[in-house]
């Protein structure tokens, strides 16, 4: 089924997401739009200390505010939650771990009353020594942020180190990196960094919960993964799983930040406390920045060894990720960064250590492609650096080192399947679309440089080995189909792609296949999570299973009706017919509920197909060496950019982008393009502008969109070329692999490589703001600055130069 | 508390509002106009945009009492039933939305641009729309969607849209 490249009705075409009419008319219902009768409102009280013991919480004055129903503090809810490490409290118990840590929650009849009362809650603290960066947190004698680490529930794949601030340590070892580095012709040693960034999904996290009087909790939440949220909530609150019902309305963006479990258990318990009335919590934008989890920051110290011909022989990398106040999901970010540190290259000797380390900063979690943007930021820059040092072309050096599907073994010891994708074609396509070595038009202003650069990427879903999915397909009276799948919907369009597959397989018009937009864990099929670009692959395969089962039933019934062998029956064009005798045909509507003979006898029954999918190949990785098979597929791709760099201001502008991914098979071309454009724009925004600024006391100083700039329409590149390569993967649905996150991974290193190629300036830090870029130019290429100043007619003495005050983006009004 | 009257999408609506209540909350919570979204509550994201006397404004920055008597249009006011306005249709056809949370504001803001300037250039469109944020980064679908719809606005420039 599926994989043959025949003429298709839907597969490969551009189809708008089927929920578009609701979105465009403002009638799609998001969690924030939900109102239940008698609904109350919750407001958080958050810590103004980075690390402090809670001495007392006085709620007397707050309770006197009219409309206040109840106030909860940590001791009311002594539960620990977290997907991989159960290190989170619902409200701080005993102590606070960062500025923004929720300490109490007020429930009131109106949001205004809740807000007013929240300000009146008095918390007495006793400060503890705080630690704000990972290097300090690793020092002997550093303040310990989680003293009770040894009591935490830990998922088997992770290794926290009790008595330290290490939430997880992952090691990948292959060959002998040290010996190979000693012998290498060229060794580059460097440090790279990324800051904390906010997912900044437009809809802040929102939960409505109703703790019913029969002990069942119903939750409507702006989240990605209803089933994971259900299970983790039941597990941490010690409830039967089916007593938790998670409804998944429309969700205003996720990007990983709404994966796993969020505020659902807190709001559920608030509802219970408020006499089983429904309670709603909407995070303010500031709370979303400082009280919820964001993307982690990291420092990577790397050493890369190359031979004369460019062969990448050894890679030693030490990643230290700052997971902030809790490690919950970030422990898996560190694992993934570690096992994927070699990107798409065959490096014989690897020695990678990745530690996730607690600090008294805002906690962190998964974000789009997690582990891979981290690993690719150093890796893809190292290749361009080595190429320059070895007088090789950046394309050439990659050709020397790229993995060869069918032959190569990845760093974790996985033999790359032959149909894993075609990284060489990805590279040649980028070259064709970007022409990195072609003539670059000179800019009219001599202080503005035009440059081209590119970077490759690879990514697979990072999930537990047993993460499975299922699908149920129900026929209706007229032969239309309701498809039940648990994959969440927050803009990626997976369910539209799944409907296309079903419509294609049965030869039905697309309008006849529908996935309910709003789904609940009690009424749809299970899937582990909606993360890691796994949805189409896992739920697509499960759906193909459901299609197979339904088709088998249709064939069974029709063969009886036609009195022909089953092999002779074909299902297509919305009907079952007999091969070679097209006049023998029954429309699916006549079988859907039972086939009825002229005399009224009926056979069959309401048609249902079910399917499941679980990977049989994956395993936990070896705790000492990181060896094993972590992913169900690898998508190879890359990004090219043409930029302008203003030497006088340090401002980088992306003029053109090229996005290439080998996604196996395009199901919905429009969906793929949306991801490629969206990944380009988000990647550009994060790599050029986004950074959560923190002061010396641990306060985030820019928790708003004035001072935390996000790409607007005027910032998008003039042109984004998008190419989907199709090297089908035999076990992918119609040959497809995932694409959603991949599109963001190589944007940052592509930009840095463009700057490096044109100027030789190395950019070690994200974001590449005008200030950091200008300082790097002044430090590394003062001659360029001199020339630029001269061209402008100014001084050529750059020693005392201050970067001119330019208002580049609102909120980035920086001087050096 | 003060009683205000609004004309919302052609219907007369009244609401009792506090002095410090913002138009956004009155529209969403009191009057149930849920297409108006919010993502920052301080004038930075543009998702709470509504048309006030035909002009795009951010409803989180306007006190409800200031809006007393105003003619307000939200995206619900652009089309009726299952038929879509030219802009809405164009947004759907171009796939100009992912999560859709920003979509009503972008559609409405584009409508306000095209009614006053149906011949807007690419850079005029980009500039005008840059008061709004789409985190999904669907700008590259929105731009052609707006341009396509502009044809319709040019044709009907003299009609009342
Ligand atoms: S909510 Fe009004 S501009 Fe953001
Ligand atoms: S479509 Fe998600 S924010 Fe615009």
CB contact under 8 A, B75 and A30: no
Q: Which helix (H) or strand (E) holds A233?
A: helix A226-237
Enter the tokens of residue A70: 């109840």
Chain A residues touching residue B35 (CB < 8 angstroms): 25-27
Please choose from A202, A489, A493 the residue to mutate so as to test ligand 2's pocket, defined by most ligand atoms within 8 A of CB: A202
Cα distances (Å, whole numbers) of residue B134 to B46, B104, B105, B142: 10, 11, 10, 10
Cβ B102 under 6 angstroms from ligand 2? yes
By C-alpha distance, the chain B residue nearest A492 is: B98
- CA-based Rg of chain A, rounded to a whole angstrom? 28
CB contact under 8 A, B74 and A673: no
Q: Are residues B36 and B108 in the same domain?
A: no
| pLDDT interval class at A807 (50, 70, 90) | very low
For residue B43, the enclosing domain spans 2-77
Cβ B133 under 6 angstroms from ligand 2? no
User: What pLDDT does A793 receive?
Assistant: 80
Tell me what the mean pLDDT of segment A293-313 comes to: 98
- The total of structural domains in chain A comes to 2
Helix, coil or strand: residue A601:
coil
User: What pLDDT does A812 receive?
Assistant: 42
Residue with the nearest Cα to atom 4 of ligand 2?
A: B134
Centre of ligand 2 to C-alpha A787, Å, is 43
Of the three residues A599, A614, A629, the one that is the final residue of a domain is: A614
Cβ B58 under 6 angstroms from ligand 1? yes
Cα distances (Å, whole numbers) of residue A798 to A6, A502, A617, A787: 64, 65, 59, 10
Closest ligand relative to B100 C-alpha: 2
39-68 in B: which are within 8 Å (CB) of A?
Answer: 39-42, 44-45, 47
Tell me what the mean pLDDT of segment A547-558 comes to: 98
- Given a contact cutoff of 8 angstroms between Cβ atoms, the answer to whether A651 and A436 are in contact is no
Nearest by CB to A25, which of B88, B99, B133? B88
HEC profile of A542-600:
HHHHHHHHHHHHHHHHHHHHHCCCHHHEEEECCEEEECCEEEEEEECHHHHCCEECCCC
CB contact under 8 A, B140 and A252: no
CB contact under 8 A, B100 and A20: yes
What percentage of chain B's residues is helix, strand, coil (to nearest 5)? 40, 15, 40
- Chain A closest-CA separation from residue B11 CA (Å): 17
User: What is the distance between the terminal CA atoms of chain A, rounded to a whole angstrom?
Assistant: 61
Closest to A579 (Cα-Cα) out of A561, A597, A566:
A566
Q: Are residues B22 and B63 in the same domain?
A: yes
Nearest-atom number in ligand 2 for the CA of B98 is: 1
Q: What count of CB pairs under 8 Å joins A to B?
A: 178
Of the three residues A598, A614, A630, the one that is the final residue of a domain is: A614
- Chain A closest-CA separation from residue B139 CA (Å): 6
> What DSSP string runs through A324-386?
ET--TTHHHHHHHHHHTTTTTB--SEEEEEEEEEE-SS--EE--TTTTHHHHHHHHHHHHHHH
- pLDDT tens digits, one per residue of A260-270: 999 999 999 99
Tell me what the mean pLDDT of segment A107-128 comes to: 98
Look at the block and give the residue holding tokens 């070896």: A622
- Given a contact cutoff of 8 angstroms between Cβ atoms, the answer to whether A611 and A546 are in contact is yes
Query: How far is Cα of residue A743 from the mean position of the Cα atoms in its chain?
Result: 11
- pLDDT tens digits, one per residue of A769-805: 999 999 999 999 999 999 998 888 866 565 555 555 4
Whether residue A814 has pLDDT greater than 60: no
Centre of ligand 1 to C-alpha B41, Å, is 5
Of the three residues B77, B105, B125, the one that is the final residue of a domain is: B77
- Domain-located, residue A290: no
- pLDDT tens digits, one per residue of A222-250: 999 999 999 999 998 999 999 999 999 99
| φ and ψ at residue A88, rounded to 5 degrees | -100, 140
User: What pLDDT does A444 receive?
Assistant: 86
74-133 in B: which are within 8 Å (CB) of A?
Answer: 74-76, 78-79, 82, 84, 88, 91-95, 97-104, 107, 123, 125-127, 129-133
CB contact under 8 A, A20 and B97: yes
Handedness of CA A503, A509, A513, A514 (dihedral sign): positive
Chain B residues touching residue A198 (CB < 8 angstroms): none
Helix, coil or strand: residue B126:
helix
For residue A38, the enclosing domain spans 34-128+205-282
Query: How far is Cα of residue A72 from the mean position of the Cα atoms in its chain?
Result: 32
The Cβ of residue A620 has, within 10 Å, a number of other Cβ atoms equal to 15
Chain A residues touching residue B92 (CB < 8 angstroms): 16, 20-21, 24
Q: Are residues B63 and B122 in the same domain?
A: no
Q: Give chain B's length.
A: 161
A511 φ/ψ sector (left φ>0, alpha ψ -120 to 50, else beta):
alpha
β-strand partners of B44: none
Tell me what the mean pLDDT of segment A150-163 comes to: 92
Q: Are residues B46 and B62 in the same domain?
A: yes
Q: Are residues B91 and B26 in the same domain?
A: no
Nearest-atom number in ligand 1 for the CA of B41 is: 1
Listed in sequence order, the DSSP H helices in A51-98 are 60-63
- Given a contact cutoff of 8 angstroms between Cβ atoms, the answer to whether A250 and A11 are in contact is no
User: What pLDDT does A801 receive?
Assistant: 57
Closest to A354 (Cα-Cα) out of A599, A579, A132, A171:
A171
CA gap A108, A259 in Å, rounded: 28
Chain A residues touching residue B41 (CB < 8 angstroms): 284-285
Q: What global pTM score does this model have? A: 0.96
CATH number, position B92? 1.10.150.120
Look at the block and give the residue holding tokens 């429904």: A278
Of the three residues B50, B77, B104, the one that is the final residue of a domain is: B77
Helix, coil or strand: residue B120:
coil
Q: Which helix (H) or strand (E) holds B111?
A: helix B103-116
β-strand partners of A169: A355
CA gap B74, B52 in Å, rounded: 9
CB contact under 8 A, A678 and B37: no
Q: Are residues B73 and B145 in the same domain?
A: no
CB contact under 8 A, A252 and B142: no
Centre of ligand 2 to C-alpha A20, Å, is 12
Please choose from B25, B37, B38, B101 the residue to mutate so as to test ligand 1's pocket, defined by most ligand atoms within 8 A of CB: B38
Cα distances (Å, whole numbers) of residue A344 to A376, A610, A728: 10, 36, 18
Tell me what the mean pLDDT of segment A393-402 comes to: 98
Q: Are residues B72 and B84 in the same domain?
A: no
Q: Are residues B60 and B12 in the same domain?
A: yes
Chain A residues touching residue B99 (CB < 8 angstroms): 201-203, 250-254, 490-491
Whether residue A810 has pLDDT greater than 70: no
Residues A521-552: b if buried by 16+ CB within 10 A, e if exposed:
beebbbbbbbbbbbbbbbbbbbbbbbbebbbe
CB contact under 8 A, B97 and A23: yes
Q: Are residues B52 and B20 in the same domain?
A: yes
CATH number, position A525? 3.30.365.10
- Given a contact cutoff of 8 angstroms between Cβ atoms, the answer to whether A198 and A287 are in contact is no
User: What pLDDT does A306 receive?
Assistant: 98
CB contact under 8 A, A714 and B100: no
Of the three residues A614, A635, A669, the one that is the final residue of a domain is: A614
Max distance between CA atoms of chain B, in angstroms, equals: 46
- Given a contact cutoff of 8 angstroms between Cβ atoms, the answer to whether A310 and A393 are in contact is no
- Domain-located, residue A540: yes
Cβ B98 under 6 angstroms from ligand 2? yes
Nearest-atom number in ligand 1 for the CA of B61 is: 2
The Cβ of residue B31 has, within 10 Å, a number of other Cβ atoms equal to 18
Of the three residues B56, B77, B98, the one that is the final residue of a domain is: B77
- CA-based Rg of chain B, rounded to a whole angstrom? 15
Nearest by CB to B39, which of A202, A674, A685? A202
| φ and ψ at residue B146, rounded to 5 degrees | -70, -40
User: What pLDDT does B156 receive?
Assistant: 80
Cβ B88 under 6 angstroms from ligand 2? no
CB contact under 8 A, A25 and B35: yes
Nearest-atom number in ligand 1 for the CA of B44 is: 3
Nearest-atom number in ligand 2 for the CA of A201 is: 3
HEC profile of A752-800:
HHHHHHHHCCCCCECCCCHHHHHHHHHHHCHHHHHHHHHHHCCCCCCCC
CA gap A561, A119 in Å, rounded: 73
Question: Which DSSP state fits B14?
Answer: E
- Chain B closest-CA separation from residue A212 CA (Å): 24
CATH number, position A275? 3.90.1170.50
Closest ligand relative to B59 C-alpha: 1
Which residues of A90-241 form beta strands (DSSP E)? 95-96, 102-108, 122-127, 166-174, 186-194, 206-211, 217-221
Enter the tokens of residue A23: 């979105």
User: What pLDDT does A134 receive?
Assistant: 97
CB contact under 8 A, A712 and B39: no
CA gap A322, A694 in Å, rounded: 13
State the average pLDDT for chain A: 95
How many CA within 13 A on the CB side of residue B49? 29
Weakest-pLDDT range from A80-84, A311-315, A433-437, A791-795: A791-795
User: What pLDDT does A802 receive?
Assistant: 57
- Chain B closest-CA separation from residue A158 CA (Å): 32
pLDDT one digit per residue (tens) for chain B, 161 residues: 999 999 999 999 999 999 999 999 999 999 999 999 999 999 999 999 999 999 999 999 999 999 999 999 999 999 988 899 999 999 999 999 999 999 999 999 999 999 999 999 999 999 999 999 999 999 999 999 999 999 999 988 655 54
- Domain-located, residue A783: no
- Chain B closest-CA separation from residue A811 CA (Å): 11
Closest to A784 (Cα-Cα) out of A381, A448, A444:
A448
Q: Are residues B104 and B152 in the same domain?
A: yes
User: What pLDDT does A518 receive?
Assistant: 87
CA gap B47, A705 in Å, rounded: 12
CB contact under 8 A, A20 and B142: no
- The total of structural domains in chain B comes to 2
Whether residue A813 has pLDDT greater than 70: no
ipTM for the whole complex: 0.97
Enter the tokens of residue A102: 């929720």
Question: Which DSSP state fits A197?
Answer: B
The Cβ of residue A660 has, within 10 Å, a number of other Cβ atoms equal to 31
User: What pLDDT does B82 receive?
Assistant: 87
Residue with the nearest Cα to atom 3 of ligand 1?
A: B43
CB contact under 8 A, A713 and B40: no
User: What pLDDT does B137 receive?
Assistant: 97
Omega before A767 within 30 of 0, i.e. cis: yes
Q: Are residues B85 and B130 in the same domain?
A: yes
Query: How far is Cα of residue B13 from the mean position of the Cα atoms in its chain?
Result: 18
Look at the block and give the residue holding tokens 């009195």: A563
Cβ B43 under 6 angstroms from ligand 1? yes
HEC profile of A373-421:
HHHHHHHHHHHHHHHHHCCCCHHHHHHHHECCCCCCECCCCCECCCCCC
């Amino acid at each position: 089924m599926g994989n043959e490249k025949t003429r298709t009705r839907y597969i490969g075409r551009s189809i708008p997401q089927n929920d578009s009419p609701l979105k465009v008319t403002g009638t799609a219902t998001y969690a924030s739009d939900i109102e239940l009768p008698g609904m109350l409102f919750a407001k958080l009280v958050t810590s103004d200390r980075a690390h402090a013991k809670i001495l007392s919480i006085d709620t007397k004055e707050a309770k006197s505010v009219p409309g206040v129903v109840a106030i909860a503090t940590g001791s009311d809810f002594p539960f620990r939650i977290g997907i991989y490490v159960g290190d989170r409290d619902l409200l701080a118990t005993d102590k606070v771990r960062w500025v923004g840590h929720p300490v109490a929650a007020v429930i009131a009849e109106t949001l205004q009353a809740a807000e007013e009362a929240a300000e009146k809650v008095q918390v007495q603290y006793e400060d503890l020594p705080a630690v704000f960066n990972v290097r300090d947190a690793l020092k002997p004698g550093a303040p310990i942020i989680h003293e009770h680490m040894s009591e935490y529930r830990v998922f088997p794949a992770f290794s926290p180190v009790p008595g330290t601030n290490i939430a997880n340590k992952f090691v990948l070892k292959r060959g002998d990196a040290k010996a190979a580095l000693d012998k290498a012709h060229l060794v580059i040693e460097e440090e790279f960094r990324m800051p904390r960034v906010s997912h900044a999904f437009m809809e802040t996290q929102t939960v409505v919960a109703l703790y019913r009087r029969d002990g069942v909790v119903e939750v409507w939440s702006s989240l990605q993964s209803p089933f994971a949220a259900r299970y983790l909530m039941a597990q941490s609150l010690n409830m039967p799983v089916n007593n938790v019902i998670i409804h998944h309305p429309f969700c205003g963006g996720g990007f990983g930040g709404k994966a796993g479990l969020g505020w659902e258990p807190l709001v559920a318990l608030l509802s219970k406390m408020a006499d089983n009335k429904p309670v709603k919590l909407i995070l303010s934008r500031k709370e979303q920045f400082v009280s919820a989890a964001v993307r982690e920051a990291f420092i990577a110290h790397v050493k890369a060894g190359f031979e004369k011909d460019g062969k990448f022989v050894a890679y030693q990398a030490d990643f230290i990720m700052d997971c902030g106040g809790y490690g919950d999901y970030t422990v898996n970010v560190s694992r993934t960064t570690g096992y994927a540190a070699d990107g798409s290259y065959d490096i014989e000797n690897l020695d990678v250590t990745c530690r996730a380390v607690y600090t008294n900063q805002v906690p962190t979690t998964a974000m789009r492609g997690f582990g891979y943007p981290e690993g690719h930021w150093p890796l893809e820059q190292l290749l361009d650096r080595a190429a320059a040092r070895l007088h090789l072309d950046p394309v050439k050096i990659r050709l020397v080192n790229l993995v060869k599907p069918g032959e190569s073994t990845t760093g974790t010891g996985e033999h790359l399947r032959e149909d894993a994708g075609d990284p060489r074609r990805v590279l040649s396509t980028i070259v064709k679309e970007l022409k990195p070595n072609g003539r670059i038009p000179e800019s009219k202003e001599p202080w503005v440089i035009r440059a081209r650069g590119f970077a490759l990427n690879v990514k697979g879903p990072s999930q537990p080995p047993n993460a499975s999915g299922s699908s149920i397909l129900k026929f209706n009276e007229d032969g239309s189909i309701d498809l039940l799948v648990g994959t969440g919907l927050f803009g990626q369009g997976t369910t539209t792609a799944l409907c296309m597959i079903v419509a294609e397989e049965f030869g039905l018009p697309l309008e006849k296949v529908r996935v309910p937009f709003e789904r609940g864990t009690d009424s749809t099929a299970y899937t582990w999570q909606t993360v890691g670009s796994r949805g189409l692959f896992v739920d697509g395969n499960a759906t193909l299973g459901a299609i197979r089962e339904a088709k088998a039933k249709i064939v069974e019934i029709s063969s009886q009706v036609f009195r022909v062998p089953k092999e002779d029956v074909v299902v297509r064009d919305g009907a079952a017919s007999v091969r070679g005798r097209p006049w023998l045909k029954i429309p699916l509507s006549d079988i859907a509920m039972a086939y009825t003979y002229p005399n009224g006898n009926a056979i069959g029954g309401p048609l249902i197909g079910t399917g499941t999918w679980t990977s049989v190949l994956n395993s936990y990785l070896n705790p000492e060496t990181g060896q094993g098979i972590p992913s169900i597929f690898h998508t190879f791709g890359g990004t090219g950019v043409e930029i302008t760099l203003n030497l006088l201001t340090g401002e980088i502008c992306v003029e053109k982008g090229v996005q290439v991914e080998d996604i196996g098979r395009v199901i919905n071309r429009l969906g793929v393009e949306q991801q490629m454009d969206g990944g380009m724009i988000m990647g550009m925004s994060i790599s050029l502008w986004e950074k959560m600024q923190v002061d010396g006391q641990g306060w985030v100083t820019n928790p708003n969109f004035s001072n935390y700039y996000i790409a607007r329409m005027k910032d998008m590149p003039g042109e984004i070329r998008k190419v989907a390569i199709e090297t089908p993967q035999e076990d992918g649905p119609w040959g497809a692999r995932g694409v959603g996150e991949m599109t963001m991974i190589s944007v940052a290193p592509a930009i840095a490589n463009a700057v490096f190629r044109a100027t030789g300036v190395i950019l070690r830090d994200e974001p590449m703001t005008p200030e950091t870029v200008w300082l790097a130019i002044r430090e590394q290429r003062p001659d360029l600055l001199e020339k630029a100043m001269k061209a402008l007619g100014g001084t050529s003495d750059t020693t005392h130069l201050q970067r001119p005050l330019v208002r580049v983006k609102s909120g980035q009004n920086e001087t050096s | 508390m003060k009683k205000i009257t609004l004309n919302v999408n052609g219907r007369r609506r009244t609401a009792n509002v506090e002095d410090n209540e913002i138009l956004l909350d009155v529209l969403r919570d009191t009057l149930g106009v849920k297409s108006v979204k919010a993502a920052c509550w301080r004038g930075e994201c543009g998702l709470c945009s509504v048309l006030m006397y035909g002009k795009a404004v951010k409803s989180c920055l306007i006190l409800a009492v200031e809006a007393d008597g105003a003619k307000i249009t939200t995206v619900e006011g652009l089309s009726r039933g299952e038929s879509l306005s030219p802009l809405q249709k164009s947004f759907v056809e171009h796939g100009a939305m992912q999560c859709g949370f920003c979509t009503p504001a972008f559609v409405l803001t584009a409508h306000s641009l095209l009614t006053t300037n149906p011949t807007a250039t690419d850079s005029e469109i980009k500039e005008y729309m840059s008061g709004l944020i789409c985190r999904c980064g669907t700008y590259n679908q929105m731009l052609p969607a707006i341009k396509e719809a502009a044809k319709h606005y040019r044709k009907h420039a003299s009609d009342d849209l």
